[in-house]
Amino acid sequence: GESVGLHLPTLSVQEGDNSIINCAYSNSASDYFIWYKQESGKGPQFIIDIRSNMDKRQGQRVTVLLNKTVKHLSLQIAATQPGDSAVYFCAQGEAGNMLTFGGGTRLMVKP
Amino acid sequence: KAGVTQTPRYLIKTRGQQVTLSCSPISGHRSVSWYQQTPGQGLQFLFEYFSETQRNKGNFPGRFSGRQFSNSRSEMNVSTLELGDSALYLCASSPTTGNEKLFFGSGTQLSVL
Protein backbone atom coordinates (compact mmCIF):
# COMPACT_ATOMS: atom_id res chain seq x y z
CA GLY A 1 0.00 0.00 0.00
CA GLU A 2 0.95 3.64 -0.12
CA SER A 3 3.10 4.91 2.69
CA VAL A 4 4.20 8.12 4.24
CA GLY A 5 7.44 8.08 6.20
CA LEU A 6 9.59 10.35 8.30
CA HIS A 7 13.37 10.75 8.31
CA LEU A 8 13.87 11.46 12.02
CA PRO A 9 11.91 9.92 14.85
CA THR A 10 13.11 12.50 17.40
CA LEU A 11 14.16 16.10 16.94
CA SER A 12 15.61 18.14 19.78
CA VAL A 13 15.90 21.92 19.38
CA GLN A 14 16.72 24.88 21.55
CA GLU A 15 13.92 27.24 22.46
CA GLY A 16 13.90 30.12 20.01
CA ASP A 17 15.54 28.17 17.20
CA ASN A 18 13.75 27.14 14.03
CA SER A 19 12.63 23.52 13.66
CA ILE A 20 12.37 21.53 10.46
CA ILE A 21 10.48 18.26 10.39
CA ASN A 22 10.74 16.18 7.24
CA CYS A 23 8.48 13.65 5.61
CA ALA A 24 8.85 11.41 2.56
CA TYR A 25 5.81 10.11 0.75
CA SER A 26 5.29 7.51 -1.92
CA ASN A 27 1.90 8.24 -3.48
CA SER A 28 2.48 10.75 -6.25
CA ALA A 29 -1.27 10.87 -6.89
CA SER A 30 -2.02 12.57 -3.55
CA ASP A 31 -4.11 15.71 -3.85
CA TYR A 32 -3.18 17.26 -0.54
CA PHE A 33 -0.89 16.93 2.42
CA ILE A 34 -1.54 17.80 6.04
CA TRP A 35 0.56 18.27 9.13
CA TYR A 36 -0.88 17.32 12.52
CA LYS A 37 0.45 17.95 16.01
CA GLN A 38 -0.29 15.53 18.81
CA GLU A 39 0.37 16.46 22.41
CA SER A 40 0.48 13.89 25.17
CA GLY A 41 -2.99 12.66 26.08
CA LYS A 42 -4.68 14.40 23.18
CA GLY A 43 -5.74 13.59 19.67
CA PRO A 44 -3.91 14.96 16.63
CA GLN A 45 -4.55 18.63 15.96
CA PHE A 46 -4.61 20.09 12.45
CA ILE A 47 -1.74 22.52 11.85
CA ILE A 48 -1.57 23.31 8.16
CA ASP A 49 -2.28 21.74 4.82
CA ILE A 50 -1.05 22.17 1.27
CA ARG A 51 -2.53 21.20 -2.05
CA SER A 52 -0.48 19.23 -4.54
CA ASN A 53 -0.46 22.16 -6.98
CA MET A 54 1.40 24.34 -4.49
CA ASP A 55 5.00 24.20 -3.28
CA LYS A 56 4.80 26.44 -0.25
CA ARG A 57 2.24 27.60 2.24
CA GLN A 58 2.66 29.73 5.33
CA GLY A 59 0.70 29.92 8.52
CA GLN A 60 1.32 31.47 11.87
CA ARG A 61 4.98 30.58 12.68
CA VAL A 62 4.71 27.52 10.43
CA THR A 63 5.60 26.93 6.80
CA VAL A 64 5.02 23.79 4.80
CA LEU A 65 7.14 23.06 1.75
CA LEU A 66 6.24 20.48 -0.86
CA ASN A 67 8.75 19.09 -3.34
CA LYS A 68 6.88 16.78 -5.68
CA THR A 69 10.00 15.96 -7.69
CA VAL A 70 11.52 14.08 -4.78
CA LYS A 71 8.23 13.40 -2.97
CA HIS A 72 9.26 15.32 0.09
CA LEU A 73 7.30 17.41 2.54
CA SER A 74 8.62 19.53 5.36
CA LEU A 75 7.22 21.54 8.24
CA GLN A 76 9.18 24.54 9.44
CA ILE A 77 8.40 26.05 12.83
CA ALA A 78 9.87 29.47 13.47
CA ALA A 79 11.08 30.51 16.92
CA THR A 80 10.23 27.15 18.48
CA GLN A 81 8.57 27.38 21.88
CA PRO A 82 8.18 24.83 24.70
CA GLY A 83 4.51 24.53 23.74
CA ASP A 84 5.59 23.18 20.38
CA SER A 85 6.87 20.01 22.04
CA ALA A 86 4.74 17.22 20.63
CA VAL A 87 4.66 14.47 18.03
CA TYR A 88 4.17 15.73 14.49
CA PHE A 89 2.54 13.64 11.79
CA CYS A 90 2.42 14.23 8.09
CA ALA A 91 -0.50 12.78 6.17
CA GLN A 92 -1.38 12.51 2.53
CA GLY A 93 -4.73 12.08 0.88
CA GLU A 94 -6.59 11.77 -2.36
CA ALA A 95 -10.04 13.17 -2.94
CA GLY A 96 -12.63 10.74 -1.63
CA ASN A 97 -10.14 8.52 0.13
CA MET A 98 -8.90 8.29 3.66
CA LEU A 99 -5.76 9.96 4.91
CA THR A 100 -2.54 7.97 5.19
CA PHE A 101 -0.42 9.03 8.13
CA GLY A 102 3.32 8.89 8.58
CA GLY A 103 4.96 7.36 11.63
CA GLY A 104 5.47 10.65 13.47
CA THR A 105 8.42 12.73 14.69
CA ARG A 106 8.79 13.74 18.30
CA LEU A 107 9.87 17.35 18.72
CA MET A 108 11.54 18.19 22.02
CA VAL A 109 12.18 21.84 22.84
CA LYS A 110 14.96 22.54 25.31
CA PRO A 111 14.60 25.68 27.44
CA LYS B 1 -18.42 24.79 19.14
CA ALA B 2 -17.70 21.74 21.22
CA GLY B 3 -15.02 19.48 19.85
CA VAL B 4 -15.18 15.79 19.06
CA THR B 5 -16.16 13.86 22.17
CA GLN B 6 -15.16 10.27 22.76
CA THR B 7 -16.32 8.04 25.56
CA PRO B 8 -15.12 6.36 27.60
CA ARG B 9 -11.65 7.84 27.99
CA TYR B 10 -10.15 4.60 29.31
CA LEU B 11 -11.22 0.98 29.11
CA ILE B 12 -9.77 -2.23 30.46
CA LYS B 13 -11.05 -5.48 29.04
CA THR B 14 -9.93 -9.10 28.95
CA ARG B 15 -9.30 -11.29 25.95
CA GLY B 16 -12.45 -12.61 24.32
CA GLN B 17 -14.66 -9.80 25.50
CA GLN B 18 -16.23 -7.24 23.23
CA VAL B 19 -16.20 -3.47 23.52
CA THR B 20 -18.17 -0.52 22.16
CA LEU B 21 -16.67 2.94 21.83
CA SER B 22 -18.66 6.09 21.24
CA CYS B 23 -17.95 9.27 19.33
CA SER B 24 -19.91 12.50 19.05
CA PRO B 25 -18.68 14.66 16.15
CA ILE B 26 -18.53 18.41 16.02
CA SER B 27 -21.99 19.84 15.52
CA GLY B 28 -22.77 19.98 11.81
CA HIS B 29 -20.11 17.49 10.83
CA ARG B 30 -21.51 14.52 8.98
CA SER B 31 -18.40 12.44 8.43
CA VAL B 32 -16.84 10.35 11.18
CA SER B 33 -13.63 8.38 10.78
CA TRP B 34 -12.01 5.96 13.20
CA TYR B 35 -8.29 5.34 13.59
CA GLN B 36 -6.26 2.96 15.70
CA GLN B 37 -3.02 4.34 17.12
CA THR B 38 -0.28 2.11 18.49
CA PRO B 39 3.41 2.80 19.14
CA GLY B 40 4.43 0.18 16.60
CA GLN B 41 1.98 0.83 13.76
CA GLY B 42 1.20 4.51 14.17
CA LEU B 43 -2.17 5.77 12.98
CA GLN B 44 -4.09 3.14 11.07
CA PHE B 45 -7.39 3.90 9.35
CA LEU B 46 -10.31 1.74 10.43
CA PHE B 47 -13.36 3.11 8.62
CA GLU B 48 -15.28 6.21 7.69
CA TYR B 49 -19.00 6.86 7.93
CA PHE B 50 -20.93 9.55 6.16
CA SER B 51 -24.70 9.95 6.36
CA GLU B 52 -25.00 6.61 8.16
CA THR B 53 -23.16 4.75 5.37
CA GLN B 54 -19.69 3.27 5.52
CA ARG B 55 -17.71 4.94 2.75
CA ASN B 56 -14.20 3.62 3.29
CA LYS B 57 -12.74 0.73 5.20
CA GLY B 58 -9.19 -0.02 6.23
CA ASN B 59 -7.42 -3.36 6.45
CA PHE B 60 -8.76 -4.62 9.73
CA PRO B 61 -10.48 -7.95 10.44
CA GLY B 62 -14.23 -8.26 10.61
CA ARG B 63 -14.06 -8.17 14.41
CA PHE B 64 -13.89 -4.40 13.99
CA SER B 65 -17.17 -2.84 13.01
CA GLY B 66 -18.90 0.48 13.26
CA ARG B 67 -22.05 2.37 12.62
CA GLN B 68 -23.33 5.90 12.43
CA PHE B 69 -26.64 7.21 13.62
CA SER B 70 -28.92 9.80 12.07
CA ASN B 71 -27.51 12.48 14.38
CA SER B 72 -24.00 11.67 13.03
CA ARG B 73 -22.88 10.12 16.31
CA SER B 74 -20.87 6.98 15.72
CA GLU B 75 -19.92 3.83 17.56
CA MET B 76 -17.30 1.26 16.86
CA ASN B 77 -17.33 -2.27 18.18
CA VAL B 78 -14.55 -4.77 18.60
CA SER B 79 -15.58 -8.34 19.28
CA THR B 80 -13.50 -11.20 20.63
CA LEU B 81 -10.78 -8.88 21.87
CA GLU B 82 -7.14 -9.86 21.44
CA LEU B 83 -4.10 -8.55 23.29
CA GLY B 84 -2.99 -6.81 20.11
CA ASP B 85 -6.13 -4.70 20.11
CA SER B 86 -4.71 -2.63 22.94
CA ALA B 87 -4.41 0.83 21.46
CA LEU B 88 -5.65 4.38 21.45
CA TYR B 89 -8.77 4.56 19.30
CA LEU B 90 -9.28 7.96 17.76
CA CYS B 91 -12.41 9.34 16.23
CA ALA B 92 -12.29 12.26 13.81
CA SER B 93 -15.03 14.29 12.23
CA SER B 94 -15.20 16.53 9.20
CA PRO B 95 -17.97 18.54 7.57
CA THR B 96 -18.14 16.35 4.50
CA THR B 97 -16.72 13.08 3.31
CA GLY B 98 -13.22 13.00 1.84
CA ASN B 99 -11.34 13.26 5.12
CA GLU B 100 -9.72 16.62 4.56
CA LYS B 101 -9.00 18.61 7.71
CA LEU B 102 -10.01 15.96 10.19
CA PHE B 103 -10.82 17.13 13.71
CA PHE B 104 -9.81 14.50 16.23
CA GLY B 105 -11.13 13.65 19.65
CA SER B 106 -8.82 12.76 22.54
CA GLY B 107 -9.39 9.07 21.99
CA THR B 108 -10.31 6.02 24.02
CA GLN B 109 -7.36 4.15 25.49
CA LEU B 110 -8.21 0.46 25.38
CA SER B 111 -6.15 -2.04 27.31
CA VAL B 112 -6.76 -5.74 26.72
CA LEU B 113 -5.44 -8.02 29.45
Q: Which CA distances in Å does B45 have to A9, B17, B27?
A: 21, 22, 22
Residues of A in contact with B4 (CB under 8 A): 43
Q: What is the pLDDT of residue B99?
A: 58
pLDDT of B107 reads 97
Task: Specify the 3-state DSSP secondary structure of A92.
Answer: strand
Q: Are B58 and B45 in contact (CB under 8 A)?
A: yes
Low-confidence ranges of chain A (pLDDT < 70): 1-8, 96
Give the per-residue pLDDT at B62. Answer: 96
pLDDT at A36: 96
Residues in chain B where the model's pLDDT stays below 70: 1, 98-99
pLDDT in the model for residue B39? 80
Inter-chain residue contact B33 with A100, CB threshold 8 Å = no
In which region does residue A85 sit, left (phi positive, over 0), alpha (psi from -120 to 50) or beta (all else)?
beta
Q: Which residues of A touch B35 (CB under 8 A)?
A: 101
Residue type, B61: P
Give me Rg for the CA atoms of chain B.
13
Q: What distance in Å separates the CA atoms of residue A63 and residue A50, rounded to the nearest whole number?
A: 10
